[in-house]
Structure 1
C-alpha cells in the first residue's frame, strides 16, 4: 500500500505538469476500440504534409491490407491485460490458463500440443506493423499485491516515410499468493517493414522471442485448509502437492524455477513481394510528387524459422505429491523432460487483383514446403510437409460486402491429409439494420505430437497413441447493430475423433460424434448521459456424454460512470462482475502442461467482483482495480478469505489491489 501511495503521489504531480503541455497526441481517438481505416496510410501521410506538429499512428497486421488506429479507450482493462476476460487461470498472474468459451484447436498440420501458456506468448500473426509521423513510445507498469509486477515498452518510428520499425518488450513477474506459484515471463519482438518509393516492392521482417517460466505446485493438498482459520489465514502457508516448502524468491531478476515448466518460443520471419500493375502520380506542389501504384499481380515469398523448447524440471521432488497425483513411486530426487523443435517453412504465392483500385479484393494461390527437425535427446527425427493454400477476399469499396474463402491442404508428408476450409460472408443490411455475418469452417488435423511415442513427455502420457485425425466443423452467424450497441452470435460445433486428457496421465479419443451449441450476446445500455451498463454472456450446451465440461452460462457485467470532462479527462469507474453457473471444472496436469476432464468435483463459485477507477488524460492512462471483493466474509475470521476455485485443487486469490500506468510519448 505504501508503494502504491507514493506512485499515486508521483502520478498526480506529473499529471499537473502534463495538463499544461500541448496535446501532442491530439490525433489519437478519444475513446472506443481500434477501428479500421485507410486514411492514415494514404499518400498524404507517407509524404508528410502538415502533420509534423502532431502524431498520426496507424498499424496493420501481416496478412491483411487493412489499417487500424490505436485503441485509447479506458473502459475495459482486459483489453490491455495479458488474459481476455473469458479466461480462467491457476491463481497467479502468468500461470496456466484456458478459455471457458469452447474453442478447439482449428489449425491443421504439425502441432506440439503445449498450449496452457499460449496467452502469454506474442504470436507472429498478432505482430503490428506501424506507420507514424513522429517517433512514438509507450511505457506501461502494473503493480499488484505480493510484489507482482508487469512492465511493457513499445517504441516505433519511421526511419523514412516508407520505412518503419517497432520494438516491443514485456515482462511479467509474480511470486504468487499461494506457495510455489511463481511466474516469470518475458517477450521481445522487433519488426520492420519497408516499401519502395514507387510502391512496387515491400519487405516485412519479424524477430520474436518468448520465454515462459512457471513454478507448478500441483494444487493445494486439500481445500479444507482454506477454511482452517486462523492457522492458514496467511495463504502462503498452505502446503501444496509439489515444490516443497521453501520461501518465495521475489524480484524482477529472480527467474529460478525449481519445480515447473520452462518454455521458449522463437520466431523469425521475412516476407517479400513485388507487384506488377499500373503507375500513377499526383503533383502536390513544385517540389512534391506523390507516387501511386495499383497492383494487378503480386509475387510473394515468405520464409519462417520457428524454434520451440518445452521443458519440465523438478529439482526438489516431493514423493508424496507425485504418488498422489500420478501414482508414481521411486522417483529420483531430481528429474526433467525436454522436447526441442525447429520448423522451417517456405511459401511462394501469386496474387491477382481483379479490381485494380481495390487492394482488398484478390485471389491468392500458394504452395509451401515445411521442414521439421526434433531433438529428444536419444533421437533426432526429421519430417517434411508439402502443402497448398488458396484464398479469395473481397471487401467492396462501398463497404457493403466483406467476403472470404480460404483453404489449406497438406498434400504429402508427416501431416498429409490435413486440411482447413473456411468461408465467411459479411453484409451491411442497412444503415439502421446493421451487419450480418455467416461463417463456416471444417478442419481435419493430425493429433498433437505430445501423443506421439517419440516425445519425451509420452513417458508421463500413458494413454493410447493410435489416435485418428480429429475433424471439427463450425457453422456460425453474427448479427451486429452498432446503432444500439448490440451483438448477437451463435456457433454450432460438430466434433469427430475429439482428443482430450481424462486424468493426469492419460489421453483419450472420443469415438462418437458430438455437437455443441454456443450462443453469445453483447449489449451496452445507456442510463442518462454518463451511466453505462455493459453485458457480455455466453450460453453453451453439449449433447449426450460429450467429453467437455463447460458452464451453461458464463457472463460478465460492468456498470460504470463514464464520460469526458474538462478538456482532456476521460474517465470510467464502476463495478465489474464475472459469473459462471456451477460446473465440473477441468483439472491440470503440471508435468504435461495439460488441462484434463474430471467428473468428480463440481465448482460452485461466487461471482468475481471488482471495483475500478480508470481514466486517461491526454496520453496518460491510469488503472486502479480492487479485485475479488466477493471473497470477503464475516465470522470468527473476518477478511477476504472465501476463495473461489479455478480447478478442484487450485484456488484463486482473495482481495487483490492492482495499479497500472500506460503512458505514451511523442519524440
Structure 2
C-alpha cells in the first residue's frame, strides 16, 4: 500500500510540474514570447537551445552546444563527427535493458538478473576470453563511452520507477576545463525486488538485484590538433540473490500450478552471485603528416566473480546443482579472479580515398579460481598466458558518396585465432561476409567448485556468416528484408548438467526476416520479425518465430507539450529454452521444460516539455488475457502487469 501511495503522489507531482511547465514554456527567458508556428515536433526542434536573447551573439546553452563523440570516430578518422544530446521521444519508454535491445536478450524475468542473447552470436574478437557474460548488459561497454565537448556545464539526471520494486537512478556531469580539455563522470544505481520466494515486500528480504555503475572520462586535443588523448575508468558492482527458479504448487486444485507467484524459490534466500569489474583504458594518437598517424591503446581489466550458497543441499535436492563433490555440510564458496593487460600500437590514416588502420597488439592475462573443500579449507587453481603477437588490418573506402562504402578488416593471433570480415553498403543493398575461429573461454577450459569440476583441452570454434539486406522505400513506407546464414564448426556449449561440451562437425542456422516502418501525418508504426531454423536443434535452441511491433500517435498540447502515445507488442514462439545454472552463471541446454509461446503488450505515453522528458508505461497490460503468465527461462516467471514512470532532465548551465 505504501508503494501505491507514494507512486500516486509522484504521478500527481509529475502532472503538476507538466502543467506549470506548459505555462512557463510559452515564454523564453527575458519575457520574450515564443512565436506561433515555430517548427518543432517530437525530436527536440523549435528554438530549443538556440534562441537569441538579444541583438548580440549570446545564445542559450542547450543540446546544440553540448556535443559528444565516440572513440571509434577518432580511431576511424571521423574526427569532425559529433552528436547532440538526445531529446527525442522515440523509444524513450523502452527503459529496461531487454526493451532497449528490442527483446533480443533473455533474462530471468526481472531487472538485473542473468541474460543471454536470443540469437546465436559468433565471437568478434580473437584471443581467449574469461567467459562470464550474464551481466554484460548492466556494465558500460567500451563502445558506449561518450566523450563530450561542452560550451557549458552539462548535467544529466534520470529517474525511473519501473514498478514492483524496480528503480533506476542515473546522474552524469560533464564540463570543458578549457576548449581542448573535457572531464566528466556518470553514476548509476538500480535495484529490483523478488516476485516470489519471499513473503515480505519490505526490507532487505525482498531485494533481488543491486547494481552500481560508475564511469570517469576525459579527452584532450592539442592546440594544433596533432595530438589526441581519450581516457576513461569503468566500474561495475553487481549483486543478485539467486533463486534458482520457482517451485510450482503441486497441491493446487485442478493440478500443478505453474504460475504461483506466492510460491517458494528453489535456492536458499542467502545464495548470492556477485561480480565486480574495473577497467582502465587509454587511447592516444599523434598525426605526423596528412594520411599518417600513430596510435596506441592500453587496457587493464580486473574481474572478480563470486558465488556463495550457505545451504548447498537444498540446491541439490531441488535440482539446481548436479551434486556435492567435497563437503555437503559446509557452505559453497566459489570465486574467480581475472586480470588482463592489453597493449595495441599501430598506424592509421587516409590516403587516396582509403581509410586504413594497421596494428599489432599483445595480451597478458591470468585467472585464479578459489573454491571450498570445507568451511575452513580452500583449494586454488591458476591459469595464465601471454598472447604475444596479434596482427590487425582495417580498410574502408567510400564510393560516390558517404552513403555507399566498402569496409574490410582482419585480425590474427599468430598460430591460433583469426577473423576476417567484409561489407559493402550501397543505397540499393547491404551485404557482408564474416569468418572467424576463436579460442574456448577460460571458464570452459578449467573450473573447480563444490558441485562441478572439469579440465578440458578444446579446439577452436568457428563460424562463417553470410548476411544481406535490401532497403525499400515507397513514400511513407520503409521495408528492409534481411537474410543471415551461419555455418558453425566445433560448437561449444553447456550440456544438461551444466558441463562444457564441444560438438564435432558443423551445422547451420538460417534466419529470414526484416523490419518495417511507416509514418504518415501523426501516426508511426514499426515492426520487426524473424523466422529461424537450425539444422541441429539438439544443442542450439532458438525460437522459430520472433516479432516486435509498435504503433503510436503524436500530438501537441498548448503548443509546447509534445506527446506520443502507443502500444508495443513482443511475441516469440514456444521452444526448449536454455536453463540457467547460478553456480557458473551460464545457460545450458535442457529437455524437460518447454517455454510456451506468448505475446507481451505494453501501453505507453511519453511527454516532452522543453528539454524534460517523461514517460508513463503499463507493462504486460494483457496479463490474464492469453493465460495466467509466461516463463522467460525454465523455472523463471516473466514480470506481471506493472505500472512505471520515468523522468529525464538535462541541465546545460
Same fold (TM over 0.5): yes
Q: Deviations over 1:227-278 (max 9, x none)?
A: 889999972x31111024xxxxxxxxxxxxx31211111110111111023x
**1:614 aligns to 2:617 (yes or no):** no
Match of 2:117 among 82, 99, 118: 99
Residues in 2 aligned to 1:160 and 1:630: alpha-carbon distance in whole angstroms: 53
Residues in 2 aligned to 1:89 and 1:592: alpha-carbon distance in whole angstroms: 15
Q: Residues 421 and 183 (structure 1 numbering): CA distance in 2 closer, same or farther, change over 3 Å?
A: same
Q: Residues 582 and 55 (structure 1 numbering): CA distance in 2 closer, same or farther, change over 3 Å?
A: closer
Residues in 2 aligned to 1:343 and 1:102: alpha-carbon distance in whole angstroms: 26
- Correspondences of 1:38-437 after superposition (within 5 Å): 51=59, 53-56=61-64, 57-64=66-73, 65=78, 66-77=81-92, 80-83=95-98, 84-86=101-103, 87-179=105-197, 182-222=208-248, 235=261, 237-244=262-269, 258-277=270-289, 295-319=290-314, 321-322=316-317, 324-329=319-324, 331-355=328-352, 361-377=354-370, 378-386=380-388, 387-395=390-398, 398-411=401-414, 416-429=415-428, 436-437=429-430
Residues in 1 aligned to 2:253 and 2:237: alpha-carbon distance in whole angstroms: 36
Residues in 1 aligned to 2:158 and 2:232: alpha-carbon distance in whole angstroms: 22
**1:585 aligns to 2:602 (yes or no):** no
Poorly superposed stretches of 4+, deviation over 6 Å = 26-29, 225-234
Residues in 2 aligned to 1:79 and 1:28: alpha-carbon distance in whole angstroms: 26
Contact 1:124/1:206, CA 8 A, preserved across alignment = no
Match of 1:283 in 2: none
Q: Deviations over 1:164-213 (max 9, x none)?
A: 22211111111221227700011101111110111011100010101111
C-alpha displacement at 1:566, in angstroms? 4.1
Match of 1:3 among 6, 16, 19: 6
Residues in 2 aligned to 1:645 and 1:373: alpha-carbon distance in whole angstroms: 38
Match of 2:636 among 641, 646, 650: 650
Q: Residues 334 and 228 (structure 1 numbering): CA distance in 2 closer, same or farther, change over 3 Å?
A: farther
Residues in 2 aligned to 1:451 and 1:229: alpha-carbon distance in whole angstroms: 40
Residues in 2 aligned to 1:573 and 1:426: alpha-carbon distance in whole angstroms: 34
Match of 1:512 among 482, 485, 505: 505
Match of 1:492 in 2: 485
Secondary structure (helix, strand or coil) at the match of 1:8 reads helix
Contact 1:93/1:176, CA 8 A, preserved across alignment = no
Residues in 2 aligned to 1:504 and 1:71: alpha-carbon distance in whole angstroms: 46
**1:502 aligns to 2:499 (yes or no):** no
Secondary structure (helix, strand or coil) at the match of 1:326 reads coil
**1:568 aligns to 2:560 (yes or no):** yes
Contact 2:157/2:170, CA 8 A, preserved across alignment = yes
Q: Residues 72 and 30 (structure 1 numbering): CA distance in 2 closer, same or farther, change over 3 Å?
A: farther
Moved more, 506-515 or 322-331: 322-331
C-alpha displacement at 1:480, in angstroms? 2.6
Contact 1:226/1:232, CA 8 A, preserved across alignment = no
C-alpha displacement at 1:74, in angstroms? 2.0
C-alpha displacement at 1:132, in angstroms? 2.3
Residues in 1 aligned to 2:253 and 2:525: alpha-carbon distance in whole angstroms: 35
Secondary structure (helix, strand or coil) at the match of 2:140 reads coil
Contact 1:179/1:239, CA 8 A, preserved across alignment = yes
Contact 1:492/1:518, CA 8 A, preserved across alignment = yes
Count of matched residue positions in the alignment of Structure 1 and Structure 2: 600
Residues in 2 aligned to 1:311 and 1:616: alpha-carbon distance in whole angstroms: 43
Match of 2:461 among 446, 470, 473: 470
Residues in 1 aligned to 2:351 and 2:278: alpha-carbon distance in whole angstroms: 37
Residues in 1 aligned to 2:140 and 2:61: alpha-carbon distance in whole angstroms: 33
Contact 1:339/1:456, CA 8 A, preserved across alignment = no
Match of 2:549 in 1: 557
Secondary structure (helix, strand or coil) at the match of 1:324 reads coil
Q: Residues 228 and 138 (structure 1 numbering): CA distance in 2 closer, same or farther, change over 3 Å?
A: farther
Match of 2:516 in 1: 523
Match of 1:479 in 2: 470
Match of 2:445 among 431, 449, 452: 452
Q: Residues 579 and 553 (structure 1 numbering): CA distance in 2 closer, same or farther, change over 3 Å?
A: same
Secondary structure (helix, strand or coil) at the match of 1:353 reads strand
TM-score by length of 1: 0.83
Q: Residues 369 and 422 (structure 1 numbering): CA distance in 2 closer, same or farther, change over 3 Å?
A: same
Residues in 1 aligned to 2:417 and 2:317: alpha-carbon distance in whole angstroms: 37
Secondary structure (helix, strand or coil) at the match of 1:182 reads strand
C-alpha displacement at 1:395, in angstroms? 3.8
Contact 1:556/1:577, CA 8 A, preserved across alignment = yes
Q: Residues 552 and 379 (structure 1 numbering): CA distance in 2 closer, same or farther, change over 3 Å?
A: closer
Residues in 2 aligned to 1:426 and 1:28: alpha-carbon distance in whole angstroms: 33
Q: Residues 396 and 13 (structure 1 numbering): CA distance in 2 closer, same or farther, change over 3 Å?
A: farther
Residues in 2 aligned to 1:29 and 1:161: alpha-carbon distance in whole angstroms: 30
Match of 1:541 in 2: 533
Where does the alignment leave 5 or more consecutive residues of structure 1 unmatched? 35-39, 41-47, 245-257, 278-294, 430-435, 634-639
Q: Deviations over 1:270-302 (max 9, x none)?
A: 11111023xxxxxxxxxxxxxxxxx32111111
Contact 1:629/1:655, CA 8 A, preserved across alignment = yes
Residues in 2 aligned to 1:563 and 1:665: alpha-carbon distance in whole angstroms: 25
Match of 2:204 in 1: none
Secondary structure (helix, strand or coil) at the match of 1:63 reads helix
The CA RMSD measured in Å over matched residues stands at: 3.0
Match of 1:441 in 2: 434
C-alpha displacement at 1:520, in angstroms? 2.9
Q: Residues 53 and 630 (structure 1 numbering): CA distance in 2 closer, same or farther, change over 3 Å?
A: closer
Q: Residues 439 and 70 (structure 1 numbering): CA distance in 2 closer, same or farther, change over 3 Å?
A: farther
Q: Residues 555 and 451 (structure 1 numbering): CA distance in 2 closer, same or farther, change over 3 Å?
A: same
Contact 1:606/1:630, CA 8 A, preserved across alignment = no
